[in-house]
Amino acid sequence: MAESELFKELAKIRTETINPESTLIDTLSTVDMLELINSQDTLVPLAVKQEIPQIAQAVEIVYNAFKNGGRLFYFGAGTSGRLGIVDASECPPTYGSDPEMVQGIIAGGKEAVFRSQEGAEDKPESGADLVVANNISSIDVVCGIAASGRTPFVIGALEKACEFGAKTILISTVDKKFIIEKKVKADIIISPNVGAEVITGSTRMKSGTAQKLVLNMISTAAMIKLGKTYGNIMVDLQPTNKKLVERSKKTLMMVTGVDYDEAEQKLIEADWHVKTAIVMILANTDSENAKKILEITDGKVRAAIELIKANPL
């Protein structure tokens, strides 16, 4: 029987090749096994570093989309899909962003988050249909996540997104030449060369780690550029539970130097909006003026403080 085209395709993918460093991993002691895995994991950040120019481009298009009311959608299957969902779900509590702003979509739906849905990734039309269902348009960004660079569900989503004029990104860990040969519809290709996996084809390992690092960089940098931090401190968090209420007080204390009681009082005056409370204290103004200036500066705390100090009441 002749080899199928899919078989030939997979044979070209570096994550499907055998890692010569781990061929005897099943003979090692537990400690040696873990040291081997760890030594391979240390290669991942270095591979991601080589992709920073492309990651920077991705950050810019995501940031510009957010400024213009657009959204970021992650499309993936299996581990890749779950990583997209994790990144998307963590943005609202961390940065106070609207849950619609960053969304993760996985082949097979919600059930696939907890249990593998075999075959769900094989239909490009499923990805395309979900682009349509989510009303994705030219102001949005679709980021496909596929270690293999060929997942049909992801490719279908990217192609349909391009039809609607959305900007597209592909995060993979295969050779970029392979992606280009496949004529994948992606404006930006981010593909760290993590090499062969410790366990052949197990892309939840180095590939998954690389994807997680890249997703962290894209969403974090875009949120910083939107003014979601003051320095390296989260200032747009939502105090939706007791822990976050106390974190809001701690944040205000760290940034401004006030004590616990004053932090609570200022947050009450600011309707528990941390940014407003910071501006009130550091620019010596009231809640109403702080909110007004924050609107002018697109929610950027440092700019708001500078504007008030330059134009005192």
Q: Which residues of 62-81 are buried (b: 16+ CB within 10 A; e: fewer)?
A: bbebbeeebbbbbbbbbbbb
Cα gap 22→28, rounded to integer Å: 10
Q: Which of 90, 262, 269, 306 is catalytic?
A: 90
User: In the numeric block, which tokens belong to residue 226?
Assistant: 């939107």
SS3 6: helix
75 closest CA partner among 93, 88, 60, 56: 88
Q: How far is 103 from 164, CA to CA, in rounded Å? A: 18
Give yes or no: 125 in active site: no
Which one, of 278, 273, 277, 281, lies nearest residue 239 by Cα? 273
**What distance in Å separates the CA atoms of residue 31 and residue 232, rounded to the nearest whole number?**
36
Structure tokens at 247: 């974190």
What is the rounded distance in angstroms from the CA atom of residue 92 to the CA atom of residue 308? Answer: 28
Q: Based on the residue annotation, tell me whether 246 is a catalytic residue of this protein.
A: no
| Annotated catalytic residue within 51, 121, 159, 197 | 121
Q: Any idea which residues carry the catalytic annotation?
A: 90, 121
